[in-house]
Structure 1
Amino acid sequence: MITAPSSFRRMPRWWHDEPGRAWLDRLPALVARRCEDWGLEVDGDPVHGSNALVVPVRQGTLGAALRLSPPGDDLALECAALRHWDGRGVVELLDSDEAAGVMLLERLDPSRSLSAQTPQRSAAVLGTLTRTLAVPAPGTVPSTGEIAADEARAATARWEALGEPVPRTLLEAGIAAAGRRAADDPGHGSVDGDLHDQQVLAGTRHRWTVVDPVLLRGDREYDVGRVLWSRLDELPADEDVRGALGAFVEAAQIPPGRARDWVLVRSLSYLLWGLEHGLTRDPPKCRRLLELFA
């Protein structure tokens, strides 16, 4: 029997989610039942992020990870993304029960994430991973160009509704960058729309392996803004930020101007979203990136 960690129960996700809190209480029985159904044995203490519980298990001699998600989380897209990449740079999906919110995954090392590397080293690894992941994408998945067009259309109204929280020059720089990214053909390569160093763990098949990918198609530097703002506290000087971006650009083998565009687009989008949702720490980081690259 496992116990849901108290730190998992304290996650903001559950504050106003009564079905989710009930699911937390059922977790020991859910894990026991799934282990019986799939012939698994618990092989260590569970770990968690903000939304899912991961239990180390063994299936015979194979070490694996049992991942359980709460009611309401749609695993179909995530499982489809994992099947699409089929272990190429991403965690391998061994089995799933999407209706029950359960996946059996390749065992990685949750104590060793890419966030332990320096920001420049991390940015270079993430840039390299974008090339690994850039296999042809299904035409049915969202395009980065479509996302950029949506951002360009909505930004001004969101900015006005928030009381014009940044100078108009920064708003216009983000909109112009979004317009350029919407106008250019982004191609059909696969893109992880949630790429940052905490989503990359050490493994055995690959030195670094992506978890929880979000499948998009188009510009593989789509999430480079997140690569920077997630480590911005460790990049005190502007030249440090430019150095991290340069490390990503060189490893990803992408045009620097296109990367700067996506820093502007994603930073403006996240700044507005953060203010809309009451965030206080991340919007100033996004503003710094806007001021640096506008």
Structure 2
Amino acid sequence: MAFEPPRRLVRALGEARRNGADGVDAWLDELPGLVEEAVALRELTVERVQAPGGRSSLVLLVRQFDQTPAVLKLAPPRARPESERAALGHWDGRGAVRLLNPGDTPGVLLLERLHPDLSVRSLPEAKALLEAAGVLRRLWVEPPDGDGHLFETVAERTGRQAEAMRASAEADRQVAPLVDAALAAREELLAASPEARLLHGTFRQSKVLAGERMPWLAVGPDPVVGECAFDLARLVRDRVEDLIAQPSGAATTRRRVKRLAESLDVDQERLRGWTLFRAVESGVRALRVGRPQDAELLLEFAGWL
């Protein structure tokens, strides 16, 4: 089929290339052929490419041979699609979109159709946080038994991120104090970590879509195994641009940390620490890939913590 990948995806993959990711250009070049093969093999009818779509995968709205609506998702290896497949299979529709092809072609996921243009972010802020937190609670389950699962641990993922953060701090001394604080928080948090759960890994309001069998379901996990506060930390800074614009943004952020921690039985100080680490990591990464405005917002937010 003839199509143009969404500009958001192309731009994000370009950022990944600048951040050292390999194979990005090759996957984009192969994408039309991969789509054609995936559609033909599953006897799908393509309705449209979902735009703006995600930053790590191509999403197509399709119909199966019996006209049941579905979503076809293709992702490069760097997006860890097989880890996503394993997590969705483990959740089996509880709190997350249902996987329709548990043992299919690597890098290709066939998913139940939700309402792709209606996320929990469309709700007023307080209601959106409440609904998102309810979804997150259902996802926090014990990981599969044994050590043979595909999931990174929080320690492993943040370890890789910490190395890049140190390099950024050496190149730009202005961010060094925040990086130092974030790395110190990580060391303290990992020294005594609570019980590990399977986490979404990249949870935020835009990752929670309206569904038919349940009001709200999570999509697009980058799963990781670790403590729940790590997962909740990304939700704390949702709508960061609105927080920064408020005269009382710092106080609102502290209240949000307290409210979310209490609503999900998470230690408030651990949530604050992971929120700091994740905001600084995202901020310095935004600087590395040439998004200075995003970096400024994230680092100002981190300074409030």
TM-score scaled to structure 2, two decimals?
0.80
Identify the residue that residue 46 of structure 1 maps to in structure 2.
Answer: 49
Does 1:266 pair with 2:281? no
| Residue 245 to residue 73, structure 1, CA distance change in 2 (3 Å) | closer
Give, in whole Å, the separation in 2 of the partners of 1:100 and 1:146. Answer: 23
Task: State percent identity of aligned pairs.
Answer: 26
Is 1:163 equivalent to 2:172 in the alignment? Answer: yes
The one of 187, 194, 208 aligned to 1:200: 208
The aligned counterpart of 2:226 is 218
Q: Report 1:222-237 matches (<5 A).
A: 222-235=230-243, 236=246, 237=249
Contact between 1:52 and 1:69, CA under 8 Å: does it hold in 2? yes
Inter-partner Cα distance in structure 2 for 1:66 and 1:148:
30
Q: Which residue of structure 2 aligns with residue 78 of structure 1?
A: 84
Contact 1:35 1:41 in 2 (8 A): no
Does residue 130 (structure 1) correspond to residue 136 (structure 2)? The answer is yes
SS at match of 1:165: helix
Residue of 176, 181, 199 corresponding to 1:173: 181
The 1:156–1:227 alpha-carbon spacing in structure 2 relative to 1, beyond 3 Å, is closer
Structure-1 residue corresponding to 2:99: 93
Q: Per-residue displacement from partner, 1:245-293 (whole Å, max 9, x unpaired)?
A: 3442233221211110111111222222222222212222222222211
Deviations 1:120-179 (A, max 9, x none): 333333322232111111353333245456666x477325422212362x3343233212
Tell me which of 232, 244, 265 is aligned to 1:253.
265
Cα offsets for 1:210-251 (capped at 9, x unmatched): 112122222112144432444111222223323433442233
More displaced, 126-135 or 80-89? Answer: 126-135
Deviations 1:84-129 (A, max 9, x none): 2111111111115654532211110001012212333333333222
Aligned amino acid, residue 249 of structure 1: A
User: Does the 8 A contact of 2:9 with 2:54 survive in 1?
Assistant: no
Distance 1:19 1:176, change over 3 A: closer
Paired residue type of 2:281: S
Q: Which runs of 4+ in 1 moved over 4 A?
A: 13-18, 70-74, 145-152
**Number of residue-to-residue matches in the alignment:** 286
Question: Quick check: 1:23–1:71 contact (8 Å CA) kept in 2?
Answer: no
Tell me the residue number matched to 2:21: none
SS of the equivalent of 1:111 reads: strand
Q: What is the RMSD of the two structures over their aligned residues, measured on CA atoms? A: 3.0
Do residues 22 (structure 1) and 33 (structure 2) align? no
| Deviation larger for 139-148 or 86-95 | 139-148
8 A contact 2:198–2:225 mirrored in 1: yes
CA 1:275–1:190 in 2, change beyond 3 Å: closer, same or farther?
Answer: same
Q: Distance in 1 between matches of 2:168 and 2:78?
A: 31
- How far apart are 1:194 and its partner, in Å? 0.9
Structure 2 runs not aligned, ≥5 long:
18-23
| SS of alignment partner, residue 290 of structure 2 | coil
Deviates more, 1:280-289 or 1:24-33: 24-33
CA contact 2:80–2:222 (8 Å) conserved in 1: no
Match of 1:286 among 292, 298, 301: 298
Q: What is aligned with 1:142?
A: 152
Looking at structure 1, the residues matched to 80 and 223 of structure 2 have their Cα atoms a distance apart, in angstroms, of: 14
Q: Decide whether aligned partners of structure 1 residues 61 and 142 sit closer, same or farther in structure 2, where only a CA change above 3 A counts.
A: same
Q: Return closer, same or farther for 1:190/1:97 CA change in 2, 3 Å cut-off.
A: closer
Pairwise CA distance, 1:5: 4.8
State the partner residue of 1:4: 3
User: In the alignment, which residue of structure 2 is the partner of 1:68?
Assistant: 74
- Give the residue type in structure 2 aligned to 1:114: V
1:57 maps to what in 2?
63
Distance 1:290 1:71 in 2: 31
User: Is the deviation greater in 10-19 or in 277-286?
Assistant: 10-19
